[in-house]
Chains A and B, each alone.
Chain A
Amino acid sequence: MHMADALISPAVGGTMWAATAGLTYYSAKKLRDNLDDRRVPLMGVLGAFIFAAQMINFTIPGTGSSGHLGGGMILAILLGPYAAFLTMASILTVQALFFADGGLLALGCNIFNLGFFPCFIAYPFIYRKIVGARLTRGRIVLGAMLAAIVALQLGAFGVVLETWGSGISELTFKTFVLMMQPIHLAIGVVEGLVTAAVVTFIVQARPEILATAPAGQGEGPGFKKVLAGLLLVAVVTGGGLSWFASTHPDGLEWSIAHVTGKEELTAPEQGLHAVMAWIQEQTAFMPDYNFAKEDKAEPAKGEAWPEVNAGTSMAGIVGILMTLALAGLIGLGLKRYYPKG
């Protein structure tokens, strides 16, 4: 499931961007150190393959719904973790730009959730440990299944944490976890089955591809490095989140305000404050102008405010309509002046 820009806060989006950028540089460096120029076209075409494979659906027996391939695990198995991570990043970027599947700010979250977990956790610590070089059917099914389930559970948990940390959605942490994890257990089973089916097919049809693939891709990341990386990410995320929590206590503040019944009073004041501040700034910079007179007229309005509660909402709506009309007029005007560029 892809996160959307509309549901995240800049702090969470920025933190995840930083984490993802770090992983991208690390992976790119690893690939450069271990140069195999066959991999350049291979990564590109395999990325396109994942797109194409996602267009083919299959029916899930007994449910009437259909599933398709997620892709992270297949890529890790075929390309190794670093190349797979970069390929996943490119796929998600294209999805964000062309399909609005997730947004640009949420891209960091999405690459992390769908790229980091399968490539750097599930593949090296589960799939490689279970399957390794022993390509028997049973091991492949078990390894792919477990790896896919773990990757998707972690990814789903990532979505929950990021959404919850952003505080735009009202869903409580617990509800969201209870909603996301079981769904992604089912999706993980399906993903595992598909991955196993494809890998088994390849083993039967062209065993040499898999026999050479992991060996040619260099070693997986060392355990210590991954641990250190995770720690770093945890610290950065924790720091980012706590900063966010301290600077934006919106939800809490708002509910407190509501309990005391002050909310309806503060909102209008904000509008007034903004007008006042604006006018004051104007007058401070240009004391000789006539604005000073308007400023004197203000306090009278100020007294009238608290009782015209509906008035502010009215003002807000009038303002919205006027702004929209203005934007529309500007658009139309530009269209007229530049008819065909």
Chain B
Amino acid sequence: MAKIDTSFLDIGYLDTLAYQASPIQRLDPRVKLLTTLVFIVLVVSFDKYAITGLIPFIIYPVVMVALGNLPAGFILKKMLWAAPFAVFIGIFNPLLDRHILIYLGPVGISGGWISFASIMLRFFLTVSAAFILIACTGFNTVCMALEKMGVPKSLATQLLFLYRYIFVLGEEATRLTRARSLRSFNGKGKGIKVFGHMIGQLLLRTLDRAQRLHTAMLCRGFDGEIRLVRTFRLGVGDLAFFLSWTGLFILLRWYNLPQLLGNLVTELIR
């Protein structure tokens, strides 16, 4: 239960980070969204044994965390919570693919472990990019940017509504769970029957709430359409941000920087 409470605080915390005043937070949200997408697509476009090629992409989360004044430890911790799926599917690679791909002195490393490491690296990069997008833009702003970029309005308003009420209903669910736990001994009453009634109750309350909301919205002149008041203007800084990052990503996608560096250094030493 304590876990639920804290995970909710976490959502709110990630969002509040976006209200800081930093050069990154001030950028146009569309630019940040596009940059994130380009980053993710290029990261996953590497072939499955890629490791060295992926490493330089770490520069993006590092720079964004530094410039956006984001708490790196918190973001890393959140990523660990999300890791199980990628680990669960990825861990089959070392079991199934046992061909030795590289030798580190006497130790041979199989292709499976290399591709597993590659999966974890991809996971780290893509997930951190998504968290960074929210932490330096804010969810509401992302929704408005989506709407500006042509996502259907009904989906954009739906996202805004959903996000607003997650906290309200989340607290309600937490109270329900707490009440049940306090009344349950030896796990009695935690079966599907009570659960069905609890969810049903929560659903009824939710439907009533929707009714009240609708009435309240009608009182304020709602006519079936929600108007989002926020004007975005693309400045020179925004364009520079987008172009320099995408340029760098494309460069890093084409040239394997660590391999080049490593070759150069080992050659020099020899």
Contacts and interface: CB of A to CB of B under 8 A. Distances in A.
Interface of A: 1-10, 13-14, 24-25, 28-29, 31-32, 35, 37-38, 40-49, 51-53, 55-61, 69, 74, 86-87, 89-91, 93-94, 96-101, 103-105, 163, 167-172, 193-194, 197-198, 200-202, 205-206, 209, 248, 250-251, 254-255, 258, 263-264, 267, 270-272, 274-275, 278, 301, 309-320, 322-324, 326-328, 330-332, 334-335, 338, 340-341
Given A9-B44, A51-B169, A194-B195, A97 B139 contact: yes
17 contacts: A4-B89, A5-B40, A38-B210, A40-B161, A44-B162, A44-B210, A45-B161, A48-B206, A58-B192, A60-B192, A97-B142, A98-B134, A103-B130, A309-B103, A319-B260, A335-B66, A338-B23
Nearest to A310: B103
A75 B64 CA distance: 38
Interface string B42-71: 011101110110011011001101111100
Please name the 5 residue pairs, one residue from A and one from B, whose CB atoms are nearest each other, closest first. Answer: A44-B161, A197-B196, A319-B262, A319-B258, A201-B200
A1 B187 CA distance: 27
A338 B115 CA distance: 37
Contacts of A318: 261-262, 265-266
Nearest to A340: B69
A90 B143 CA distance: 10
Instruction: Name which of A43, A56, A163 has the most chain B CB atoms within 10 A of its CB.
Output: A56
Contacts of A331: 62-63, 65-66
Given A201-B197, A327-B62, A100 B187 contact: no
Given A91-B162, A263-B101, A37 B222 contact: yes
B207 to A, nearest CB: 6
Contact of A103 (B127, B196, B217): B127
Instruction: Name which of B11, B165, B255, B262 has the most chain A CB atoms within 10 A of its CB.
Output: B262
B244 interface: no
Interface in B87-140: 89-90, 92-93, 95-97, 99, 101-105, 111-112, 115, 118-120, 122-123, 126-127, 129-131, 133-134, 139
Contacts of B95: 170
Interface residues of B, number: 131
A56 B198 contact: yes
A170 B262 contact: no
Given A56-B202, A104-B40, 16 more contacts: A10-B44, A42-B210, A43-B158, A48-B168, A56-B177, A98-B139, A168-B119, A197-B195, A197-B200, A198-B203, A202-B203, A309-B103, A310-B105, A314-B104, A315-B259, A338-B69
B192 A198 contact: no
A49 B169 contact: yes
B51 A24 contact: no
Nearest to A89: B155
A198 B153 contact: no
Contacts of B164: 44, 48
Interface in B1-20: 4, 10-11, 14, 20
Contacts of B49: 250, 254
Contacts of B67: 334, 338
Nearest to A309: B103
B31 interface: no
Contacts of A200: 196
Contacts of B165: 44-45, 47-48
A304 to B, nearest CB: 9
B236 interface: no
A48 B199 contact: no
Contact of A197 (B45, B97, B192): B192
A87 B166 CA distance: 13
B239 interface: no
B155 A9 contact: no
A260 B58 CA distance: 35
A278 B126 contact: no
Contact of B41 (A10, A29, A47): A10
B260 A275 contact: yes
Given A99-B82, A274-B259, A331-B63, A87 B55 contact: no
Contacts of B259: 270-271, 274, 312, 315-316, 319
B103 A86 contact: no
Interface in B140-186: 142, 151-155, 157-166, 168-170, 172-174, 176-177
Given A4-B85, A170-B96, A322-B265, A104 B130 contact: yes
A315 B157 contact: no
A254 B255 CA distance: 21
Interface string B202-230: 11101101110110010000111010000
A45 B203 contact: no
A57 B157 CA distance: 29
B176 A56 contact: yes
Contact of A170 (B45, B68, B112): B112
A96 B85 contact: no
Instruction: Name which of B22, B111, B158, B192 has the most chain A CB atoms within 10 A of its CB.
Output: B158
B193 A197 contact: yes
Contact of A53 (B63, B97, B173): B173
Given A97-B134, A193-B192, A320 B55 contact: yes
B51 A49 contact: no
B105 A10 contact: no
